[in-house]
């Protein structure tokens, strides 16, 4: 494990390969290991330096244990009612973390790929630190407006279900979660169990999930700001995503001038092996068309 101090927190990261940097930002409550090793290796094989890291408050990065833990459902209800949400930090703070990671690693510009909440952070990064972003790829994410973001009740209930208390429960929970939020593309459930075991061994942190949830709810809609974005953007979304519905991906692509939209047929809110096979050529083409400085 490597760490770097930035923006008042310490971020744990690892990397594979040499060449232009690709920074991968993971979603809510998820550790960096949820980015498949095979994806990093394929970036490396294509001549890129793939970097994944744990967001603040999760995994091996700084945990804000003294911060308040906003209740999840009231945070969502306040966001739906367009009322202020009390959050210890926002997605802009998490974007600043990522900008600091890029700078701290001596990288002038990076290709940035964010999944789910990571896509939201990546959007803030491209808006607020555009000099650090050569290209933006927003995967299974949305523009922050609640009307675009609410998925199917079963998927939301499973995401927000009672946290596991043992390693085996964590593995079972992860498989159950991805069955609920996945599409029709086959998943590697054995790999999901291995990944869940690694994440458990590094330490569960449900309080961090709650604070990251509050950060999403407090950050509001980016639709107006995204209309000013000048970073080359690719939006990737599964046609069967039950958690962040396809309309969220469509709204993101329509808001960003010149954005390209890639629909992955049968993909849900997951990185099934076949989904990676379908999206990776488009990601590589996007980055090759817009090289880093």
Q: How far apart are alpha carbons 190 and 193 in whole angstroms?
A: 5
State the pLDDT at residue 80: 87
Instruction: Give 268's pLDDT tier (boundaries 50, 70, 90).
Output: very high
State the pLDDT at residue 81: 87
pLDDT, tens digit, 9 for 90 and up, residues 60-113: 999 999 999 999 999 989 988 889 999 999 999 999 999 999 999 999 999 999
pTM (2 d.p.): 0.97
Q: What percent of the chain has pLDDT over 70?
A: 100
pLDDT, tens digit, 9 for 90 and up, residues 34-72: 999 999 999 999 999 999 999 999 999 999 999 999 999
Q: Say if residue 148's pLDDT is above 80.
A: no
2-151+204-289 CATH pick, 3.20.20.100, 3.40.50.620, 3.40.50.1820, 2.40.37.20 = 3.40.50.1820
State the pLDDT at residue 293: 86
State the pLDDT at residue 149: 79
Domain ranges in the chain are 2-151+204-289
Average model confidence (pLDDT) for the chain? 96
């Amino acid at each position: 494990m490597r760490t770097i101090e930035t923006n008042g927190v310490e971020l744990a990261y690892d990397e594979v390969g040499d060449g232009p940097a690709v920074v991968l930002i993971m979603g809510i409550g998820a550790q960096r290991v949820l980015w498949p090793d095979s994806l990093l290796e394929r970036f490396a094989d294509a001549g890129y330096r793939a970097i994944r890291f744990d967001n603040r408050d999760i995994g091996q990065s700084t945990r804000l244990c003294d911060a308040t833990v906003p209740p999840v459902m009231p945070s969502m209800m306040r966001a739906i009612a367009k009322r202020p949400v009390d959050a210890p930090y926002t997605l802009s703070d998490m974007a600043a973390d990522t900008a600091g990671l890029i700078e701290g690693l001596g990288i002038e510009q990076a290709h940035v790929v964010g999944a789910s909440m990571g896509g939201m952070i990546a959007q803030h990064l491209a808006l607020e630190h555009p000099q650090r972003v050569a290209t933006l790829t927003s995967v299974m994410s949305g523009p922050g407006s609640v009307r675009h973001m609410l998925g199917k009740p079963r998927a939301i209930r499973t995401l927000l279900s009672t946290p596991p208390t043992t390693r085996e429960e964590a593995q079972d929970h992860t498989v159950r979660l991805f069955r609920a939020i996945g599409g029709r593309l086959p998943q590697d459930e054995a790999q999901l169990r291995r990944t869940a075991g690694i994440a458990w061994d590094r330490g569960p942190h449900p309080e961090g999930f709650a604070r990251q949830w509050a950060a999403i709810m407090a950050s509001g809609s980016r639709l107006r700001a995204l209309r000013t974005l000048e970073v080359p953007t690719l939006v990737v979304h599964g046609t069967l995503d039950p958690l962040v519905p396809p309309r969220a991906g469509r709204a993101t692509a329509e808001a960003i001038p010149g954005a390209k939209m890639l629909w992955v047929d049968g993909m849900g809110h997951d990185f099934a092996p076949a989904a990676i096979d379908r999206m990776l050529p488009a990601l590589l083409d996007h980055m090759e068309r817009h090289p880093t400085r």
